[in-house]
């Protein structure tokens, strides 16, 4: 029983270290990629249009909506089996996380708008 428990914990910890956490901050006019552990900015670019992000299987995406004003964004998540989810978020200060077991996904974020 102890060996089974040890093997199970070993497999679980391998999966935890294998995944990569990708972090993106979306503001009204900029998209910023940063390191999850250190919060160091990796890259950034100006953007006021729709954004498309891709997440590989096993990775986790953390999206920080920081529009600083009450805005709404539509988020369409498309999975590798072509199923999808549609959501609307208040992006003044909100977070969105993808799951590491969702497979390859594409996240499409609309440009901000004032009303639903």
| 37 falls within a domain | yes
State the pLDDT confidence band at 114, using cuts at 50, 70 and 90. Answer: confident
pLDDT at 19: 53
pTM score:
0.75
Does the pLDDT value for residue 10 go beyond 80?
A: no
Q: Tell me how far apart the terminal alpha carbons of the chain are, to the nearest angstrom.
A: 55
Share of the chain above pLDDT 70, in %: 83
For residue 12, pLDDT over 80 is answered with no
pLDDT bucket at 68, cuts 50 / 70 / 90? confident
pLDDT at position 116: 55
Q: Does any domain span residue 27?
A: yes
Q: Is residue 44 part of a domain?
A: yes
Sole residue written with tokens 């909506």? 65
Under the banding of pLDDT at 50, 70 and 90, the label for residue 50 is: very high
What is the residue whose two structure tokens read 């974020």? 109
**Considering the domain boundaries, does residue 39 fall inside one?**
yes
Does any domain span residue 9? no
> Is 116 a member of any domain?
no
> What is the rounded CA–CA span in Å between residue 92 and residue 70?
5
Is 8 contained in some domain? no
- Name the residue range of residue 30's domain: 20-109
Is 1 within the bounds of a domain? Answer: no
Number of domains in the chain: 1
């Amino acid at each position: 029983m102890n060996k089974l428990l040890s093997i199970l914990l070993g497999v679980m910890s391998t999966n935890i270290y294998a995944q990569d956490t990708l972090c993106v901050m979306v503001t009204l006019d900029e998209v910023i990629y940063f390191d999850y552990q250190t919060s160091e900015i990796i890259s950034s670019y100006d953007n006021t249009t729709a954004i498309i992000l891709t997440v590989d299987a096993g990775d986790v995406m953390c999206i920080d909506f920081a529009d600083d004003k009450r805005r709404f964004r539509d988020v369409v998540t498309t999975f590798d089996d072509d199923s999808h989810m549609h959501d609307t978020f208040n992006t003044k200060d909100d977070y969105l996380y993808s799951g590491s077991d969702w497979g390859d996904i594409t996240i499409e974020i609309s440009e901000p708008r004032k009303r639903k």
